[in-house]
Structure 1
Amino acid sequence: MGAWRTRSKPRPDGALAVAQYVRMSTDHQRYSTENQRDAIQQYALQHGMAIVRTYADEGKSGLNLEHREGLKQLIRDVESGETDFEAVLVYDISRWGRFQDADESAYYEYVCRRAGIRVHYCAEPFENDGSPMTVVIKSVKRVMAAEYSRELSTKVFMGQCRLIELGFRQGGPRCIRK
């Protein structure tokens, strides 16, 4: 990416320069990256912001950072100080990830905040203002995201077990031994 360092320089149109981060874990998700981008764009327009950069992880699990090049690049850019934006817009708290350790998604928000980059959650019913109530709500939502993932994993596993019991084969291509 290069050295932008235009964070303190105002845009000619007066809009706040922002980046967006979008993620979806499957190709059949109702919160597709296109839907997230539309909601984020609407939020940006309503708040006098201009999206200047997009970081995206499409079809990537939110359970860990592995294979999430968009989020990894966002964090690298923020930590380097070489950004051309002053805030990051994220659809909702679960888009950072559904990490089983809820502190992990909080950490990525903290990295941004520590570097002077604010994080806005566009589809959440609260302002990410650092107030005690917001901190509690975000913590609960992070735990809920992790729990959703855990419950879904259990349901999928049980469904696969049931299909195996019914005689259906699960997994990849069948191995034929000679």
Structure 2
Amino acid sequence: MRKNNKMRAVGYVRVSTKEQAVEGYSLSAQKEQIKRYCEMYDLDLVNIYSDEGISGKNLEDREGIQDLRDDAKAGLFDTVIIWKLSRISRRLLDTLTLIDELNTHKIPL
């Protein structure tokens, strides 16, 4: 149910241990950026899905992204916010597959 007719947003964050060491962008920093974005655009942030210390090489082995997909099918949110496209996947095909899946539910990324 939408609160105050605001668009319901969810965030997705991911970092592998190696990426965090190299890029220095933690899950908490990604979450903070997502929260700021939602505040700036008056979105109702209802959840942030997370996969910590997990490679972005595929979608299947990540609980957070699977929960996001299930909740998208259930219509629990209206848009997905990410810090960087590579947080979804390191494989372009997986990223495009998820975008297409979200689009079938009329959910923009």
Q: TM-score range by the shorter chain?
A: 0.7 to 0.9
RCO greater where, 1 or 2, for CA within 8 Å and sep 6 or more? 2
Question: TM-score, normalising length from structure 1?
Answer: 0.55
Which structure has the greater CA radius of gyration? 1
Unpaired segments ≥5 residues, structure 2: none
Post-superposition offset of 1:27: 6.8
Q: Which has the higher strand share?
A: 2
Residue 118 of structure 1 aligns to a residue in which SS? coil
- Within the candidate set 78, 82, 97, 1:107 is matched to 97
Q: Write the distance in 1 (CA, Å) between the matches of 2:12 and 2:69.
A: 11
CA distance in 1, matches of 2:57, 2:18: 16
Identity score, percent: 30
Counterparts in 2 of 1:96-135, with a 5 A limit? 96-99=88-91, 102-119=92-109
- Deviation string 1:29-58 (CA, Å, 9 cap, x unpaired) is 112110100111111111111210121100
Decide which of 20, 34, 56 is 1:62's aligned counterpart.
56
Partner of 2:25: 31
Structure 1 runs (4+) greater than 6 angstroms displaced: none
Instruction: Give the letter aligned to residue 50 of structure 2.
Output: A
TM-score, length-normalised on structure 2?
A: 0.87
- Note if contact 2:11-2:45 (Cα within 8 Å) is conserved in structure 1: yes
Q: How does 1:68-107 map to 2 (within 5 A)?
A: 68-79=62-73, 82-99=74-91, 102-107=92-97
- CA distance, structure 2, for counterparts of residue 83 and residue 42 of structure 1: 24
CA gap of 1:113–1:38, structure 2 versus 1, over 3 A, is: same
Q: Shift of residue 88 of structure 1?
A: 0.7
Secondary structure, counterpart of 2:17 in structure 1: coil
